[in-house]
A and B are shown apart, each in its own frame.
Chain A
Amino acid sequence: MQRSRKSSGASPPAAWAKPLAAALALAMATIALAACAETDRPGSRGSARTGGGAGSSARGEALETVTLVTHGSFNVSADVLAQFTAQTGLELEVLPADDAGAMVNQLILTKDAPLGDAVFGIDNTFASRAIAAGVLEAYKSPQAGPEQGEYAASQDAELTAVDFSDVCLNVDKRAVADGADLTFDDLTKPEFKDQLVVENPATSSPGLAFLLATIAAKGEDGYLDYWRQLKANGLKVVSGWNEAYYDEFSGPSSSGQRTLVVSYASSPPSEIPADAAEPATTAALDTCFRQVEYAGVLAGAANPEGARKLVDFFLGPEFQADMPGQMWVYPVKADIPLPQDWAEWAPLADRPWVVAPQDIAAGRDQWLSDFNDQILG
């Protein structure tokens, strides 16, 4: 717009200082925006870093970054993280999503321009979706051993198994004496009315694992009837593991009233009251589903070499030994020693319920949708 030369009257500076300032601010914002769009500053991203400890930082150079997309429960000791930087000269940036399912979906939606380089925490209930969508690049780690064969998610090594755990019903032993022997059929009995709390399978991976266990036990034709019986018996469905375990369950570290909760076989060792020698809870090993967690290299990663090194590191002895204490999972490598109380109070199921990967791939969406429609309503 043009200022008229013949403009009459005095113009008080204050009157147009404001629009001018606004225009200036807008212009500056635009410039800053453009600048930000052009330069992707690796040094300014992320917060969970290894810090410039050892390794190549001695030369005073900025460390190369590898970005890991993972779920909200990812945890690793600081010294193990430092070892990663020391061994590889890479700085780790962690991008946590809410849960495994949401993370996989986010990876699929952003496939054309991935959010990171590597992923950790895709489990066997979602592995097929991620593989089918092509978000992963095949990579066979030199660290991978015979243990991979048992847990392989596909033929082409898109995913590397890192850990596993058994999702089982956990029982408050103070209320249910023979909790460890509980079966699916017991849950519909009147004595367990209003006692069971589970996670919504649509929003929680242990919830989905437990749904799969009931499908394996009751069959594809029978599981919905079974869930209807559970519902009639006062079943409560909450959105996630935290809400179920800490807010609804009656265990020593929880604040709820329900005596049955879907959790992990490794949960009981954390429930040893101060004045007792053994846990107040136990896992019902007839209700378990084995959940395997994988890591992988994202297709189209900016730093695929770093991502591969990260996958190697996940299979290394330091990380494997760190996992039980940090994430309550069993390392996939059999030769890694477990914490003492795990051996005693966290036995794995001898015969966990199994649904074949291809069956999960074919049925999952329909099962979830049916569960949503008919059980949650």
Chain B
Amino acid sequence: MIRPPATADHPATDQIPVPPAPSAVSGGNGGADCPDSGEPNHLGVAGKVAKTATAHDAVWPGPVSARRSPAGETWQLWARRAGFALLAGGPAVFLAIFFVWPVATMVAKGFTSSGAWDWSGFAEMLAKPRTWRLIGRTVGQAAVATAICAAAAVPIASLLYRRSFPGRGFVRALLTVPFALPSVVVGLAFRALLGRGGPLGFLGIGDGFWAVLLALVFFNVGLMTRVVGTFWAALDPRPEQAARVLGAGPWRALATVTLPALTPALAAGGSLVFLFCATAFAPVLILGGSTYTTVETEIYLQTAQMLDLRSAAVLSVVQMAVVAVALWFGAAARRRRERALKLTGAGAGIARRRLARSGRRPARSPEPQPTWAVDWASWLVTALMAALIGLPLVNLVYRSLRTSAGLGLGNYLALGDESRAGLPYSLAQAAGRSVVIALLAGAMALALGLAAAVVLSRPRAKASWGRRAQDLFDSVLMAPLGVSAVTVGFGFLITLNRAPLDLRTSFWLIPLAQALVALPLVVRTVLPALRSIDPRLRQAAAVLGAPPWRVFSSIEAGLIRRPAVVAAAYAFAVSVGEFGATSFLARPDTTTLPVAIYKLLGRPGADNLGLALAGAVVLAVITALAMVLAETTWRRRTSQGLRP
């Protein structure tokens, strides 16, 4: 479905509690104050237990203070349970009403005919060669994009996370830019670069496989680099040094020692990148042309254009299966990685923790001394990727300044003009609306995501049904990533249409849909930080008599403030750039900037294109501003000593 920018990665617990450090968008200062020590934990799907917890946790109903009377005990136990249920209930009810119900209704429509279940769609669809071509194209394209990202991430990470050089901060920052960019902006940027009349138009790859592939790499190479880089920085450098001392050349040491050690990170990051590539919507729609379709765009085609709900439902199930396999692979890789860290990282981790406690910058592994060949190759790859990311953006800005009267701000001035676009609103109005809607959606996603993360960060329930409920909760929270936007959008239209929930003409329809898309991201950003908090802190507070809310507010709230701010910024960025679901739900008075830009693309003339390009630049600036704000807030906070 809609591609949210990458989830933020955080040091997760590797047995040793490290200060929660939102390294996600840290860009250049990632290593300055926070140890980039832990591995990112994007998909900390169930299975992550606070292993050191010996007593019950602060919120999960546990033993009560001995000072209380038996009656008080029972009362307090129930109060805690009620509180916990409330905390889990908010996100659960939200997901049930605004995700499970609409999507299930939509898919069920495809599998029923005249009131009875009908599964013949599977056999029919899977017998079509076109279906397999689509699946092959989707999986193949995602696999190639993932492979390129992985191949590029290793040399880039070797420079950006293992070496220091002037300008490193800027290159790191540049690599994080695509994370947050709206997919419509990226599609448009590549169209302006590769299409007819663009600087690279002579290549003849304006639409189809190559254009989509480049856009997917553009989106994800930074994410992959970060996953690999943060892991690599935490890796024990001694085996590689030993290999070199024993006579292995730099390539051999890389191939036989470092790469195998990096495999878990490559697999975990790869599964995430694969997930995003396989479900990409707007890039394929804008760059694919009419004959280049993937499973995601075919679901859109079958639903919106052909009204073939049966085919759409089968394809939805296929897509969910592909996504589930990718998630499972990622979870397996993460478990492996955790074990790997346990084996290699314990000693270094303890040293780092001591340094972190003493308030000094954590020890960095000694910089390797690569030969010129390795160095040269790394620089080349990094320069290539920097060009891939920089070129479309620079060209986008340049093209937005080009008007029929030469270079100038004409397109930007026209943003405020209501009659120019041929739309019943100006792009400036759409932009203002986008920001308001995204603020609301971001606030909802943050509130619900925090609640969900707190629930998931608590130790696993003792009863098996409780554990199953936690696992289910966790999976459903991730599910919006794997379901097509058109399914969600149409699902909204056919379910939220009756009193008391008749939202068809409601302003809230779009904020709700966007919050749904941003929710998984918030959970994945905050959860690792929550889990990395030493459970003993909570236990100590609880023993000292603090009720659960107090434990959260005094201990955890402070510690997760930075990841929460980053999560909020991401939630805002995702919402403001959300295209898939919004494009189905937007009415003239709720059309957001990305949808307006896409509508402009369908209108003729250089003026409309210029206007769309200017709108895209504005959209990119809005998201970038949100990220910068989050970063500066975070930097200020770091000096306040939030460490346990």
Contacts and interface: CB of A to CB of B under 8 A. Distances in A.
Interface of A: 1-4, 6-9, 11-12, 15-16, 18-19, 22-23, 25-26, 29, 32-34, 36-38, 40, 44-48, 72, 94-96, 98, 101-102, 104-106, 108-110, 112-113, 115, 129, 200, 202-203, 237-240, 242-243, 245-247, 253, 255-256, 365, 368-369, 372-373, 376-377
A237 B493 contact: no
Interface string B527-557: 0000000000000000011111110111001
B553 A16 contact: yes
B290 A245 contact: no
B507 interface: yes
A326 to B, nearest CB: 12
Interface in B416-442: 424-425, 440
B61 to A, nearest CB: 12
Given A2-B76, A72-B602, A26 B90 contact: yes
B547 A7 contact: yes
Contact of B290 (A16, A108, A200): A200
Nearest to A40: B505
Interface in B572-611: 587-589, 599, 602-605
B589 A36 contact: no
B472 interface: no
Contacts of A96: 588
Interface stretch (B172-180, B270-278, B443-451): B443-451
A203 B290 contact: yes
Given A26-B90, A247-B196, 9 more contacts: A6-B545, A29-B444, A37-B499, A46-B587, A105-B303, A110-B504, A239-B289, A365-B308, A376-B290
B497 A110 contact: yes
A108 B505 CA distance: 18
B129 A373 contact: yes
A46 B588 contact: yes
A95 B502 CA distance: 17
A184 B507 CA distance: 50
Nearest to B496: A37
Interface string B281-325: 000000001110100000001011111100000000000000000
Nearest to B128: A373
B557 A15 contact: yes
Nearest to A4: B547
A96 to B, nearest CB: 7
B390 interface: no
6 closest Cβ pairs, A-B complex: A16-B553, A113-B497, A246-B604, A1-B83, A239-B290, A105-B307
Contacts, number: 175
A19 B604 contact: no
Given A2-B76, A15-B558, A108-B307, A377 B443 contact: no
Given A37-B502, A37-B506, A365-B306, A3 B550 contact: yes
30 contacts: A1-B80, A1-B82, A2-B547, A4-B547, A6-B67, A11-B554, A12-B554, A15-B557, A19-B549, A22-B447, A25-B443, A34-B500, A36-B506, A38-B499, A47-B424, A47-B425, A47-B589, A94-B588, A104-B307, A105-B304, A108-B307, A109-B307, A238-B289, A242-B604, A243-B602, A255-B196, A365-B306, A365-B308, A373-B129, A377-B130
A29 B443 contact: yes
Given A2-B76, A102-B304, A15 B553 contact: yes
A375 to B, nearest CB: 9
B504 A115 contact: yes
B552 A19 contact: yes
B498 interface: yes
A63 B197 CA distance: 49
Contacts of A72: 599, 602
A110 B493 contact: yes
B503 interface: yes
A325 to B, nearest CB: 15
B602 A37 contact: no
A109 B548 contact: no
Contacts of A200: 290
B60 to A, nearest CB: 13
A16 B550 contact: yes
Given A33-B508, A115-B504, A242-B604, A1 B304 contact: no
Contacts of A23: 447
B307 A19 contact: no
B570 interface: no
A253 B290 CA distance: 23
A4 B546 contact: yes
Interface of B: 67, 76, 79-80, 82-83, 86, 90, 128-130, 133, 196-197, 289-291, 293, 301, 303-308, 424-425, 440, 443-444, 446-448, 450, 490, 493-494, 497-508, 512, 544-550, 552-554, 557-558, 561, 587-589, 599, 602-605
A156 to B, nearest CB: 22
B502 A1 contact: no
Contacts of B603: 242
B166 to A, nearest CB: 39
Contacts of A25: 443, 447
Nearest to A203: B305
B545 A4 contact: yes
Given A108-B307, A238-B290, A365-B308, A37 B501 contact: yes
A365 B305 CA distance: 11
A108 B307 CA distance: 9
B66 to A, nearest CB: 13
Nearest to B109: A109
B500 A37 contact: yes
B549 A95 contact: no
Contacts of A112: 494, 497
Contacts of B197: 255
Given A105-B305, A365-B308, A113 B502 contact: yes
Given A16-B550, A32-B508, A101 B604 contact: no
A66 to B, nearest CB: 14
B549 A16 contact: yes
Given A36-B508, A37-B506, A18 B557 contact: yes
A373 B306 contact: no
Instruction: Please indicate which of the listed interface residues B128, B133, B290, B588 has the most CB atoms of chain A within 10 Å of its own CB.
Output: B290
B261 to A, nearest CB: 40
Instruction: Please indicate which of the listed interface residues B304, B544, B545 has the most CB atoms of chain A within 10 Å of its own CB.
Output: B304
Instruction: Please indicate which of the listed interface residues B448, B506, B558, B599 has the most CB atoms of chain A within 10 Å of its own CB.
Output: B506
Nearest to B86: A1
B83 to A, nearest CB: 4
B52 to A, nearest CB: 24
A203 B602 CA distance: 13
Contacts of B306: 105, 202, 365, 368-369
Contacts of A105: 303-307
B297 to A, nearest CB: 10
B588 A1 contact: no
A294 B197 CA distance: 40
Given A38-B500, A96-B588, A202-B301, A109 B494 contact: yes
Nearest to A95: B587
A37 B130 contact: no
A32 B558 CA distance: 30
Contacts of A373: 128-130
Contacts of A19: 549, 552-553, 557
Nearest to A16: B553
Contacts of A240: 602
Contacts of B599: 72
A48 B424 contact: yes
A18 B443 CA distance: 13
B554 A203 contact: no
A40 B496 CA distance: 14
Contacts of A33: 508, 512
A71 to B, nearest CB: 12
Contacts of B289: 238-239
Contacts of B500: 34, 37-38
Nearest to B493: A110
